[in-house]
Amino acid sequence: MSGCYADLLPVGYFHVVFTLPAEIASVAFQNKAVVYDLLFKAASETMLTIAADPRHLGARIGITAVLHTWGSALTHHPHVHMVVPGGGIALDGTRWISTRPAFLLPVRVLGKRFRRLFLTRLIQLYDAGKLAFFGSLASLAERRAFLRHLAPIRKTRWVVYAKAPFAGPEAVLAYLSRYTHRIAISNRRLISFDEKGVTLCYKDYRRDGPERQSVMTLATDEFIRRFMSHVLPRGFHRIRHYGLLASSSRKANLARARALLEVSAPPDEAILEEPVDLRPPCPCCGGHMIIIETFERWRQPRAPPDILMPIPEITS
């Protein structure tokens, strides 16, 4: 994570979440690559546009975005988590503009912009023949039926959630390492499995307090179906960077931000990197060898001889 640490600025970082309504999630399930990509683009463009608006922040911001497609019960629930620095570079490049201590951007404004942008481009994808519909959604292949399907969510509030800033760079790193490598369910949530199915714990967000922590048992095939539904299309990038953190100009933008903040650059990344692993790779799978036992110097085993000496025949 040394590279990530070097990219962090000495400012507060916000956690923002963009979530798709259930009506769109069903379409996304049958068109994962196209709709997930649109989710990334619409959410990031919404953030960058509203942040650049002088009525709000009036600055260019940076975004690290991570796609998650699951709810706590392994249901299909596509949403994007974002980590956003608490400020940005002024549009004329002359100063750093900080956000208010616990406020990034108005979530209602973000939600309206996100809804309009996403629906407009989703219909464009439909008209371009980029969407396919099967099974229970087969009727949406007819344009009027598709527009009727979208009608209820044109006026509903789309959920954009912004949390207070993280408590320092270490918390940002802990969050990134946890969320960027997270899968639909971790081992600690699995309670048991037997001929009845798989028992797991999950959060029921319709309840409050201790009752939110619930337990459910899924038939084995249903558990596998839910888990496999979150496998992303081949080659799809679930972590993306935008604005000041876009790969093409990240180093220059971060250097400019540090100059405006009047802070020095972090130590050379080479110093922060972990030591090179000198262990030889496994001859079978190519993975890293794991030390399972260390012998005392005077008891170290000897390797077999390179050439086996022939055993002389014994004649009577």
Q: Over the stretch 191-235, which tens digit does the pLDDT of each residue have?
A: 988 888 999 888 877 777 777 788 889 999 999 999 898 899 999
| Rounded CA separation 161/18 (Å) | 7
Which residues are registered as beta bridge partners of 62?
243
Q: How far is CA 105 from CA 80, 96, 245, in A?
A: 17, 16, 18
Q: What phi and psi values does residue 218 have, to the nearest 5 degrees? A: -110, 140
- Total tally of structural domains belonging to the chain: 2
Mean pLDDT computed over 260-289: 64
User: Which one is predicted more confidently, 143 or 164?
Assistant: 143
Are residues 120 and 176 located together in one domain of the fold? yes
Beta bridge partners of 103: 100
The answer to whether residue 65 sits within a structural domain is yes
Residues 192 and 46 reside in one and the same domain? no
Residue 316 lies in a domain: no
E strand or H helix that includes residue 97: strand 96-98
Q: Are 6 and 139 contained in the same domain?
A: yes
Q: Which of 214, 229, 244 delimits the end of a domain? A: 229
Q: Which band of pLDDT confidence, cut at 50, 70 and 90, is reported for residue 268? A: low
Query: Are residues 148 and 194 part of one domain?
Result: no
Last residue of a domain, one of 229, 259, 284: 229
| Least confident span in 68-82, 98-112, 177-191, 279-293 | 279-293
Structural domain of 210: 185-229
What is the per-residue pLDDT for 28? 96
Q: Are residues 150 and 13 both part of a single domain?
A: yes
Three-state DSSP at 120 gives helix
Interval 28-55: pLDDT, tens? 999 999 999 999 999 999 999 999 999 9
